Structure 1
Amino acid sequence: MVNSFSKNVAPFVVTEIDLALKARCAGNIDLEFTHLENAHVIGQESTFWHVKVHILMLQWAARNSRVGEFLGQVARIIGAATKTAFGLVPKGNTGGANVSPFKVMPIKPEHQAAISRAKAGA
């Protein structure tokens, strides 16, 4: 069963995923990953979206032959699947293997606004 936050945050996460796909189609793999990072920050308090975005990051790594990122995403998928429901997520973490999976990071105001709206049920 999808909780209300997962449902409410979906449009914001999907928007970033769609932007990632557009960037990929345009051949801009760096921008694609940036949008996946944005989706991660916005949706990481939802187990469903947290795991989904890490799977998309894993696929990105495989398509772009980024072995370190691929291996990092395998570990992050396991962590997202087992820890998110307990609130064990570092707020603002962008989710890439280039940062510690435990590092709390600042959240951009527009991302915080999306999270706040989703929590408020908007």
Structure 2
Amino acid sequence: MKPRLRRAFRHEMDLARLAYQEGDWQAAFRHLERAHIIGQRFIGPHTLAHWWMLRVGWRRRDAREVRGQLPRLVAALLLSRIWVPAGNTGSADVSPIKPMPIPADLVALLRRR
């Protein structure tokens, strides 16, 4: 992962962790989705984003999210370097194979990859 991507990923993860510590599950998940978009082509960051999504789902007592994150964790470990749907947020609310629009502020960052 190039340094600028690593910095952007860490920034979103730091904001997610802070929101998690404050019990702001919605904000935590929003930052995790952004971290997922940034890191989904890299095994470690991709898996970490899904691990934290699982944790937020658990804390929210969101059974659907928890059930959805378990296979996504495995897929992140196995498929990150092979194929990922661009822009997919990683949430259990969307198909794990559906490409999605990339937020405008992340387009330039990811384009320079």
Instruction: Say yes or no: TM over 0.5.
Output: yes
Q: Does 1:45 align with 2:36?
A: no
Q: Secondary structure at the match of 2:107?
A: helix
CA drift of 1:47 comes to 1.1
Residues 32-79 of structure 1, C-alpha deviations (whole Å, 9 max, x = no match)? 100000000111111111111001111111122111101100010111
1:1-57 per-position Cα deviation (integer Å, ceiling 9, x unaligned): xxxx26552211110011112222333211110000000011111111111100111
Moved beyond 3 Å, runs of 4+: none
The aligned runs of 1:1-122 (5 Å cut-off) are 5=1, 8-86=4-82, 88-117=83-112, 119=113
CA root-mean-square deviation:
1.5
The one of the two structures with greater contact order (alpha-carbon pairs below 8 A, sep at least 6) is 1
Instruction: Name the CA distance, whole Å, in 2 between partners of 1:32 and 1:14.
Output: 13
What is the TM-score with the length of structure 1 in the denominator? 0.85
In the alignment, structure 1 segments of 5+ residues that lack a partner are none
Paired residues, number: 113
Q: Which runs of 5+ in 2 are unaligned?
A: none
With the length of structure 2 as denominator, give the TM-score of the two structures: 0.91
